[in-house]
């Protein structure tokens, strides 16, 4: 069995973002990067499946992005993958979801992956399209926003999270692409022996030119911080102080208190 997990490295959401000169993406400076949270669930689920099947499945981590991406890949590999595939692309952000998915599909097309795991979306672009687009191009079945996953003899039983607190149970057969949602599992903390083993694992590098990405279907016009409209206000201090401040706000901005 062969499993592919597609991961992305994203900025940590605590950092404030500066827009780049082209006005279509953020600049790296001042940002801390990490493995996309949803992809972490994908890696964990894939590793759990590998363990369930006695370690037989061959697990590949794939990521597209600049050199720094390797850090997130190593983290994912330390969780229990067999190898990494890094498509080194400094201009990754100029490609739309269709192009990213095309590159991945082009890489995967002759490799007979039984399962492709990925996050339901990235924490930065957030299109939620890459997973389904890979499935479309590979002609695989696809289920999204999974919070539960079971596998037996090529059959998948998955639990999807729907809007409004509903869940849906679906069945499908491999080969398939599944995208993972928060709550699916608790990603493991990599053990030191596994971190050390990563050094000896294969981490293949490819150029974006090695794969057909096609033309962009969606072009980002601009990226910007929306104008602030009545942002929340946090009052700090002890109870008396906070009450005083609240009273001032009410006096100033409303007609409740005069």
Partner 1 sequence: MEATREIYWNVGHGVVPIMYVLAVLAVAFLAWGFYRRIRVYRRGRPVDRLANLGGRVSRLLVNSLGQVKVMKVRLPGITHASFFWGFLVLFIGTLLVMVQADLMDPFFDTIFLKGDFYRGFSLVLDIAGLVAIIALVGLLVRRFVVRPDGLDTTKDDYIMHGFLLTILITGFVIEGARMAVTELDAAPELARYSPVGLVFAHALYGLGKSSLQSLHKVLWWVHLVLAVGFIASIPLTKFRHMFTTSANYLFSDLGEKGVMSTMDLEDEEAEQFGAAELEHLTWKDVFDGDACTVCKRCQDRCPAYRTEKPLSPMRVVLQLEEAAFRGSEATLIEDVGSDVLWSCTTCRACEEICPAEIEHLDKILEMRRNLVLMEGEFPGEEVTMAVNNVEVNGNPFGLAFATRGDWAEETDMVLMSEDSEVDVLYFPGCYASFDSRNQAVARSFARICSAAGLKVGILGGEEKCCGEPLRKLGNEYLYQAVAAENIEKFQKYGVTKIVTTCPHCFNTLGRDYRDLGLEVEVEHYTLFLDRLLRDGSLELEAQPFDFTYHDSCYIGRYRDIMDAPRQVLQATGGRITEMDASRYESFCCGGGGGLVLAEEKTGRRINVERVGMAQETGTSTLVSNCPFCLSMFDDGVKAAEADLQARDLAEIVEERLKT
34 vs 94, beta carbon nearer partner 1 = 34
Contact between residue 115 and residue 175 where contact means Cβ atoms under 8 Å apart? yes
Smaller CB separation from partner 1, 14 or 231: 14
Judged by DSSP in three states, 213 sits in coil
Number of residues that bind partner 1 (CB under 8 A): 20
Helical spans, DSSP H, in 120-222: 130-138, 192-198
In the complex, the smallest distance separating the C-beta of residue 159 from partner 1, rounded to whole angstroms, is 21
CB 223, min distance to partner 1, A:
19
Closest approach of partner 1 to the CB of residue 14, in Å: 5
| C-alpha pair distances (Å), 198 with each of 82, 84, 187 | 8, 9, 18
Choose between 195 and 203: whose C-beta lies nearer to partner 1: 195
Question: Residues 7-26 vs partner 1: string with x where CB under 8 A?
Answer: -----x-xxx----------
In angstroms, give the least distance from the CB of 191 to partner 1. Answer: 5
Residue 157 binds to partner 1 (criterion: CB under 8 A) = no
What counts of helices (H) and strands (E) characterise the chain?
Answer: 6, 11
Residues 159 to 198: which contact partner 1 by CB under 8 A? Answer: 186, 188-193, 195-196
Question: x/- site string to partner 1, residues 211 to 250, per CB under 8 A?
Answer: -------------------------x--------------
Q: What is the secondary structure of 15-79 as a DSSP string?
A: SPP-B-TTSSSB-STT--EEE-HHHHHHHHHHHHHHHHTTT-SEEEEEEEESTTHHHHHHHHHHT
Interaction of residue 34 with partner 1, rule CB under 8 A: yes
Contact region for partner 1 (CB under 8 A) — 29-37, 113-121, 161-169, 244-252? 29-37
Our finding on whether 68 is near partner 1 (CB under 8 A) is no
User: For residue 132, what are its two tokens?
Assistant: 């389904």
CB of 199 to partner 1, least distance (A): 8
Task: Give least dist CB 237 to partner 1, A.
Answer: 10
Residue (of 148, 131, 117, 141) closest to 43 by Cα position: 117
Q: How far is the CB of 26 from partner 1 (least distance, A)?
A: 13
**Helix/strand/coil for 116:** strand
Cβ atoms 213, 95 nearer than 8 A: yes
Considering beta carbons, is residue 33 or 206 the nearer one to partner 1? 33
Q: 84-104: b or e for each residue (b if 16 or more CB lie within 10 Å)?
A: bbbbbbeebbebbbbbbbbbb
Q: Which residues bind partner 1 (CB under 8 A)?
A: 12, 14-16, 30-34, 186, 188-193, 195-196, 199, 236
């Amino acid at each position: 069995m062969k499993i592919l997990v597609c991961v992305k490295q994203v900025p940590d959401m605590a950092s404030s973002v500066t827009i780049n000169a082209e006005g279509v993406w953020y600049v790296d400076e001042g940002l801390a990067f990490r493995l996309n949270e949803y992809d972490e669930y994908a890696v964990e689920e894939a590793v759990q499946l590998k363990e369930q099947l006695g370690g037989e499945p061959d697990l590949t981590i794939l990521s597209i992005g600049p050199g720094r991406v390797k850090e997130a890949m190593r983290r994912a590999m330390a969780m229990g993958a067999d190898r990494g595939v890094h498509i080194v692309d400094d201009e990754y952000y100029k490609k739309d979801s269709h192009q990213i998915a095309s590159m991945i599909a082009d890489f995967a097309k002759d490799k007979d992956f039984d399962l492709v795991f990925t996050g339901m979306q990235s924490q930065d672009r957030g299109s939620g399209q890459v997973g389904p687009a890979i499935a479309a191009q590979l002609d695989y079945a696809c289920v999204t926003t999974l919070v539960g996953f079971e596998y037996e003899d090529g059959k998948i039983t998955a639990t999807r999270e729907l809007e409004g607190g509903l869940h849906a149970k679906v069945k499908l057969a491999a080969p398939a692409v599944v995208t993972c949602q928060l709550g699916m599992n608790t990603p493991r903390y990599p053990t030191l022996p596994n971190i050390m083993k990563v050094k000896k694992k294969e981490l293949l590098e490819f150029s974006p030119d090695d794969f057909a990405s096609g033309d962009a279907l969606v072009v980002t016009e601009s990226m910007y911080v929306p104008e602030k409209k009545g942002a929340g206000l946090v009052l700090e201090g002890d109870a008396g102080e906070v009450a005083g401040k609240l009273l001032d706000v009410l006096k100033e901005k409303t007609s409740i208190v005069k």
